């Protein structure tokens, strides 16, 4: 009985083992495996080509988009510069970029996009970098002066100087400027109150007997008289003063060491029509009129 039971259990297993030992066409299986492997290689190659094509197209798209953005930024920058110049905002020259370095950087970036960047090599000895060009110095002329129309809102005697007024002058800023002016002996206090004047706004502030003076009132001066320059009748606080032929590009604050005002001052005079001029060119507020003195002709302006 036991022998019969074992024969019943193991006879199917024996038949399966015998079947597995039957001859099989291994050559056919190997050919099929080789064909499948070749197909996989071809598919991988096609996939690599498609991936590279997509990456190149995407990089070209990004470069085009970057170019358009640069053009938009440049247009916006030019509009901003024009608007700032109209409003008297000084423009500071920026050194130009090294074109050769920029082109080389762009080539490296393009290689990175395409995956062609070679492996890092040992660094060569550092070479001396070329110095960037220094921004050219602006011409020393009247365009460096920040002249504006302003209004005297308060006049007081200086507590520690008999010849000085302490003026509060509104030139269109958040708060009035304090100006110490040596006009006590030339002009009565009441003639200065609520008066429109031409104010030089970019001198370096300096203390005068303990009070910081932040600007200078422009006057026509002879050996025996001083007159405050008069703006056009319809001038407004904050109007900018121009001199035709000289670009208005004032320093934020003139460096006293460069003596810009001292270089310009000898050419500031009134003409025989009472007009304030620089090298014979009249000061004016565009669309409103010229800057003039009351009576003093052909005298220095300071």
CB atoms inside a 10 Å sphere around CB 113: 16
CA 290, 294, 295, 301 torsion-angle sign: negative
Domain boundaries, the chain: 29-87, 142-290
Most confident of 21-25, 46-50, 111-115, 188-192: 188-192
Residues 6+ apart with CB under 8 A from 192: 152, 155, 165, 167, 183, 228
In the prediction, which pLDDT does 53 show? 83
Percent of the chain with pLDDT over 70: 77
**Which candidate, 260, 289, 261, places its Cα nearest to that of 274?**
289
Six token digits for residue 113: 């996009």
pLDDT digits (tens, 9 = 90+) for 230-262: 999 999 999 999 999 999 999 999 999 999 999
Instruction: Flag whether pLDDT at 124 surpasses 60.
Output: yes
Is a pLDDT exceeding 50 seen at residue 75? yes
288: which residues sit within 8 A by CB, 6+ positions away? 231, 232, 234, 235, 239
Virtual CA dihedral for 276, 278, 281, 287, nearest 10 degrees?
Answer: -60
CATH code assigned to 142-290: 2.40.50.140
Does the pLDDT at position 131 exceed 80? no
**86 Cβ contact partners less than 8 Å away, ≥ 6 residues apart:** none
- CA atoms of 36 and 42, how far apart (whole Å): 10
Q: Quick one: CA dihedral 98, 103, 108, 113, positive or negative?
A: positive
Q: How far is CA 269 from CA 197, 221, 261, in A?
A: 16, 9, 14
pLDDT one-digit tens code per residue, 177-227: 999 999 999 999 999 999 999 999 999 999 999 999 999 999 999 999 999
Arithmetic mean of pLDDT over the chain: 83
Place of tokens 């609520």: 194
End-to-end CA gap in the chain = 137
**Could you tell me which residues come within 8 angstroms of residue 34 by beta carbon, excluding any fewer than 6 positions away?**
none
For 5-30, what is each residue's pLDDT tens digit? 445 544 555 555 455 555 556 777 77
Q: How confident is the model at residue 71 (pLDDT cuts 50, 70, 90)?
A: confident
d(CA 274, CA 285): 16
Would you state the structure tokens that stand for residue 295, as one six-digit string? 């009576």
Here the tokens at position 169 are 């002058």
Q: Ramachandran region of residue 271, left (φ > 0), alpha (ψ -120 to 50) or beta?
A: beta
pLDDT at 66 over 90: no
Q: Quote the pTM value.
A: 0.56
Quick: pLDDT tens for 139-176. 899 999 999 999 999 999 999 999 999 999 999 999 99
What would you measure as the largest C-alpha separation in the chain, in angstroms? 151
Residue 99 has pLDDT above 50, yes or no: no
């Amino acid at each position: 009985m036991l022998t019969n039971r074992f024969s019943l259990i193991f006879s199917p297993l024996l038949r399966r083992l015998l079947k597995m030992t039957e001859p099989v066409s291994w050559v056919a299986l190997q050919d099929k495996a080789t064909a499948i492997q070749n197909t996989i290689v071809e598919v991988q190659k096609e996939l690599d080509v498609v991936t590279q094509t997509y990456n190149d197209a995407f990089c070209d798209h990004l470069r085009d988009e970057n170019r358009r953005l640069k053009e938009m930024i440049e247009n916006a920058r030019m509009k901003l510069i024009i608007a700032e110049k109209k409003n008297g905002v000084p423009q500071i020259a920026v050194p130009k970029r090294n074109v050769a370095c920029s082109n080389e950087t762009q080539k490296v970036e393009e290689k990175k996009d395409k995956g062609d960047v070679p492996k890092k090599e040992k660094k060569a000895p550092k070479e001396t970098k070329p110095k960037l060009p220094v921004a050219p110095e602006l011409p020393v002329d009247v365009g460096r002066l920040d002249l504006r129309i302003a209004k005297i809102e308060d006049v007081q005697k200086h507590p520690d100087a008999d010849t000085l007024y302490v003026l509060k002058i509104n030139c269109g800023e958040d708060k009035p400027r304090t100006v110490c002016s040596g006009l006590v002996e030339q002009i009565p206090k009441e003639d200065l109150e609520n008066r429109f004047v031409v104010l030089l706004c970019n001198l370096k502030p300096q203390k005068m007997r303990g009070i910081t003076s932040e600007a200078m009132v422009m006057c026509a001066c002879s050996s025996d008289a001083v007159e405050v320059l008069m703006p056009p009748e319809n001038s407004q606080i904050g109007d900018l003063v121009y001199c035709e032929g000289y670009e208005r590009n004032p320093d934020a604050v003139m460096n006293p060491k460069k003596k810009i005002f001292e270089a310009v001052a000898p050419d500031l005079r009134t003409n025989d029509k009472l007009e304030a001029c620089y090298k014979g060119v009249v000061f004016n507020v565009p669309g409103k009129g010229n800057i003039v003195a009351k009576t003093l002709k052909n005298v220095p302006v300071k």
